[in-house]
């Protein structure tokens, strides 16, 4: 054990790790928000609720069907993603042509419904979810103890984020997507089914949120309000990063997670607010956000 | 500003608007005069406070098209300051309300100054994030009483004379303040200043090209809205004799949005009707616990999909008047 700035290394790196974990979730969620915003031009207020649904689905699958974490990691994002597609078909497509404020209000209402339903059946208290067997325990790195599950979450979410970036920025399908974001009418004229692309994009963004939820289940308690608290922070992350760039959303997510973790070490009182303070500073210095294009 | 050219047609429409407003206002005042003999006064005062809150909110969303998702910030903090001034400093109620309202105005200047730097969806997210920041601050700082809030706030004597612990006196006081603020809002939206606000709502770029500094207009109306929301919060602190974390939580910002939307965005009377509907619903449905959340969500969805004009908006369309 040694000390850095008078802080034991165990505490410092422990918080740094926690920060990276939070950062993984910020990155996954703000990535989903950015993808959805790009295609649908709405800010998905239901995102937090869908993240919560992801965690709950994993919990329910294990509890009632005995389906383990690894299967849930595949099943849940698809199931919740399909649910997202239904939402898009049933509700969101009707507000596309309206003022953006209606999309915001509509998704907020949907978030209330989902959260309220889960609270009815599961109360406000959290349900525990066991860490999968293969990832229990951890290793001592000399300067800190690294639980295996947390290392997995960071590595896996980073992989997913980079894969998403690659798919959108470097593949043919991604180029269609980007083109449809810029000018949907023109892309339609080329014979590409843009409305279906919009629907699938929403499903994909929602799936990302659900995936984050599954990964979060063993770390935090699975509770109905786990999403609504997180989503506000993610909004601040999105404002800081700007929604114009995929890589921007990923980098901002991870960096802000780390900053938050470090704040917990050096100035614990401010750890809840530090991201909002950074948001204010960024708005004053660079109103378009760190990676944003000016509107 | 230039002398305004008055088109006779515009003049006629304005006269019609005035008539429908006067009739509507008279009906509203008559209702408020009768209601305390039928309904529970504290419920009415609660509804009145929220009606003012929603009217202040509507000034922003309905007339400038700015969606603030953090109006709980002004409502809640004004409520805290008023409660604290009365309880710990033993201020008169009128002075305490002034302090609460002024706090909201200052917060409005700061938050508005930051938020109007971005448009549209970002504006909503920024106001929400700022409100959440101050929520955490309220949670941590000792003077707000944390989870307990500031309880058993004495109502005191208005101007050292009227005893506000009497429910009827308190009701009349709240009613007078709310109606005065209501008339002020009506005056604002029908002033030349208000016309510019509506122009910004319709097309901000065009308003800029006409030579208006839209950022300044947006900031002024933001501060006005925050101040009036603060006034509502201050009154609420005295009515309930309580200031708590509920008032600064984001769900409160959602509630006021629901009231305004349900009553009718951009209508003068809509927020009042919406506030009464939502408060009544919350009171009657309280035994059903979390279903209130679900029902509120359903109302949001229904309003957006099929009922965008809201109660008063539909009524106005039916009667072919402006309300």
Span A210-250, pLDDT tens digits: 999 999 999 888 999 899 889 988 988 888 887 778 888 89
Residue A62, in any domain of the structure:
yes
* Res B5 pLDDT > 70: no
Chain B residues touching residue A101 (CB < 8 angstroms): 61, 65, 67, 124
Q: Predicted confidence band at B98 (pLDDT cuts at 50, 70, 90)?
A: very high
* Least confident residue range of A27-36, B5-14, B52-61, B139-148: B5-14
Predicted local distance difference test score (pLDDT) of residue A225: 87
Chain B residues touching residue A235 (CB < 8 angstroms): 125, 128-129
As a whole number of angstroms, the longest Cα–Cα distance in chain A is 65
Chain B contact probe: residue of A276, A277, A287, A295 with most B CBs at under 10 A: A276
Residue A43, in any domain of the structure:
yes
Q: Measured between CB atoms, which of B69, B250, B294 is closest to A116?
A: B294
What distance in Å separates the CA atoms of residue A202 and residue A191, rounded to the nearest whole number? 21
Predicted local distance difference test score (pLDDT) of residue A294: 47
Q: Predicted confidence band at A183 (pLDDT cuts at 50, 70, 90)?
A: confident
* Res A98 pLDDT > 50: yes
Domain boundaries in chain B? 39-249
* Contact between chains at B305 and A94 (C-beta distance less than 8 A): yes
Q: What is the CATH number of the domain that holds A185?
A: 1.10.3470
Chain A contact probe: residue of B69, B114, B129, B135 with most A CBs at under 10 A: B129
Q: Measured between CB atoms, which of A43, A95, A105 is closest to B261?
A: A105
Span B108-133, pLDDT tens digits: 999 999 999 888 788 888 899 899 99
Burial of B219 (0-12, 13-18, 19+ CB in 10 A): middle
Which of residues B166 and B300 earns the better pLDDT score? B300
* Contact between chains at B296 and A94 (C-beta distance less than 8 A): no
* Contact between chains at B125 and A43 (C-beta distance less than 8 A): yes
Residue A292, in any domain of the structure:
no
Predicted local distance difference test score (pLDDT) of residue A3: 66
Residue A1, in any domain of the structure:
no
Predicted local distance difference test score (pLDDT) of residue A47: 94
The length of chain A in residues reads 295
- Min CA distance, A128 vs chain B (Å)? 22
Average pLDDT, chain A: 87
Chain B residues touching residue A287 (CB < 8 angstroms): 117-118
What distance in Å separates the CA atoms of residue B299 and residue A113, rounded to the nearest whole number? 10
- Reported pTM: 0.90
Cα dihedral across residues A144, A150, A156, A157: positive or negative: negative
Predicted local distance difference test score (pLDDT) of residue B81: 94
Which of residues A102 and B290 earns the better pLDDT score? A102
Averaged pLDDT for residues B225-242:
94
- Overall domain count for chain A: 1
Q: Predicted confidence band at A123 (pLDDT cuts at 50, 70, 90)?
A: confident
What distance in Å separates the CA atoms of residue A246 and residue A171, rounded to the nearest whole number? 14
* Least confident residue range of A239-243, B65-69, B185-189, B300-304: A239-243
* Cβ atoms of A51 and A29 closer than 8 Å: yes
Average pLDDT, chain B: 89
Span A249-261, pLDDT tens digits: 899 999 999 999 9
What distance in Å separates the CA atoms of residue B125 and residue A239, rounded to the nearest whole number? 7
Residue A233, in any domain of the structure:
yes
Which of residues B7 and B89 earns the better pLDDT score? B89
DSSP state of B216: H
* Contact between chains at B304 and A106 (C-beta distance less than 8 A): yes
Structure tokens at B175: 């009613």
Residue B71 vs residues A42, B110, B131, B179, B289: alpha-carbon distances, Å: 21, 13, 7, 20, 24
Averaged pLDDT for residues B249-275:
93
Matching residue, tokens 């929602």: A206
Domain holding A154, by residue range, is: 23-285
What distance in Å separates the CA atoms of residue A17 and residue A131, rounded to the nearest whole number? 17
Q: Measured between CB atoms, which of A98, A105, A232 is closest to B250?
A: A232
Structure tokens at A74: 């595949």
Chain A residues touching residue B126 (CB < 8 angstroms): 239, 279, 283
Predicted local distance difference test score (pLDDT) of residue B145: 82
- H or E element: which one contains A140? strand A138-140
- Min CA distance, B133 vs chain A (Å)? 5
Residue A117, in any domain of the structure:
yes
* Contact between chains at B120 and A100 (C-beta distance less than 8 A): yes
* Contact between chains at B133 and A91 (C-beta distance less than 8 A): no
Predicted local distance difference test score (pLDDT) of residue B3: 53
CB atoms within 10 A of CB A275: 26
Averaged pLDDT for residues A69-94:
93
* Res B10 pLDDT > 80: no
Q: Measured between CB atoms, which of A98, A100, A233 is closest to B121?
A: A100
Q: Predicted confidence band at A295 (pLDDT cuts at 50, 70, 90)?
A: very low
* Contact between chains at B294 and A272 (C-beta distance less than 8 A): no
Q: Predicted confidence band at A4 (pLDDT cuts at 50, 70, 90)?
A: low
* Contact between chains at A113 and B293 (C-beta distance less than 8 A): yes
Span A51-80, pLDDT tens digits: 999 999 999 999 899 888 999 999 999 999
Burial of A124 (0-12, 13-18, 19+ CB in 10 A): exposed
* Res B1 pLDDT > 60: no
Residue A174, in any domain of the structure:
yes
């Amino acid at each position: 054990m040694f000390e850095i700035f008078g802080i034991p290394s165990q505490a410092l790196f422990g918080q740094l790790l926690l920060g990276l974990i939070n950062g993984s979730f910020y990155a996954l969620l703000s990535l989903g928000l950015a993808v959805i915003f790009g295609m649908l031009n709405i800010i998905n207020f239901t995102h937090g609720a869908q993240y919560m649904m992801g965690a709950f689905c994993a919990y329910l699958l294990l509890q009632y069907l005995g389906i383990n974490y690894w299967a849930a990691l595949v099943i849940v994002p698809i199931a919740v993603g399909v649910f997202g597609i239904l939402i898009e078909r049933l509700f969101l497509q009707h507000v596309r042509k309206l003022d953006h404020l209606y999309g915001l209000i509509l998704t907020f209402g949907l978030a209330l419904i989902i959260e309220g339903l889960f609270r009815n059946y599961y109360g406000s208290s959290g349900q525990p979810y066991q860490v999968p067997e293969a990832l229990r325990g951890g290793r001592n790195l000399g300067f800190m103890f690294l639980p295996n599950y947390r290392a997995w979450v960071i590595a896996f979410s980073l992989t997913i984020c980079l894969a998403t970036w690659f798919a959108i920025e470097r593949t043919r399908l991604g180029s269609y997507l980007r083109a449809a974001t810029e000018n949907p009418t023109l892309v339609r004229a080329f014979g590409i089914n843009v409305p279906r692309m919009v629907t699938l994009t929403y499903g994909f963004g929602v799936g990302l949120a659900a995936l984050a939820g599954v990964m979060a289940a063993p770390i935090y308690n699975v509770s109905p309000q786990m999403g609504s608290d997180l989503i506000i922070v993610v909004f601040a992350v999105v404002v800081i990063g700007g929604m114009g760039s995929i890589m921007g959303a990923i980098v901002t997510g991870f960096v802000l997670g780390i900053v938050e973790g470090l704040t917990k070490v050096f100035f614990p009182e401010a750890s809840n607010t530090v991201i909002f303070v950074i948001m204010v500073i960024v708005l004053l210095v660079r109103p378009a956000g760190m990676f944003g294009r000016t509107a | 500003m230039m002398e305004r050219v008055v088109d006779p047609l515009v003049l006629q429409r304005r006269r019609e608007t005035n008539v429908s407003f006067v009739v509507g206002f008279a009906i509203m005042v008559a209702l408020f005069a009768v209601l305390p003999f039928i309904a529970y006064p504290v419920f009415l005062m609660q509804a009145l406070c929220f009606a003012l809150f929603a009217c202040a909110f509507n000034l922003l969303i309905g007339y400038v098209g700015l969606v603030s998702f953090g109006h709980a910030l002004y409502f809640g903090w004004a409520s805290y300051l008023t409660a604290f001034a009365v309880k710990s400093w033993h201020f008169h109620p009128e002075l305490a309300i002034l302090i609460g309202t002024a706090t909201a105005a200052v917060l409005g200047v700061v938050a508005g100054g930051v938020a109007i730097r971005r448009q549209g969806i970002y504006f909503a997210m920024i106001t929400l994030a700022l409100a959440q920041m101050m929520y955490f601050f309220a949670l941590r700082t000792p003077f707000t009483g944390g989870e307990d809030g500031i309880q058993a706030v004495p109502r005191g004597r208005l101007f050292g004379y009227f005893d506000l612990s009497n429910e009827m006196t308190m009701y009349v006081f709240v009613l007078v303040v709310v109606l005065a603020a209501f008339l002020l809002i009506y005056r604002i939206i029908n002033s030349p200043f208000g016309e510019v606000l509506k122009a910004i709502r319709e097309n901000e770029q065009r308003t800029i090209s006409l030579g208006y500094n839209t950022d300044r207009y947006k900031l002024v109306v933001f501060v006005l809205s925050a101040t009036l929301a603060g006034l509502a919060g201050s009154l609420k602190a005295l009515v309930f004799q309580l200031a708590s974390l509920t008032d600064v939580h984001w769900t409160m910002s959602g509630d006021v949005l629901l009231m305004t939307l349900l009553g009718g965005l951009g209508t003068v009377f809509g927020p009042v009707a919406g506030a009464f509907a939502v408060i009544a619903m919350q009171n009657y449905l309280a035994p059903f616990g979390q279903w209130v959340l679900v029902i509120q969500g359903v109302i949001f969805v229904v309003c957006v999909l099929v009922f965008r004009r809201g109660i008063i908006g539909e009524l106005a369309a039916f009667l072919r008047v402006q309300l």
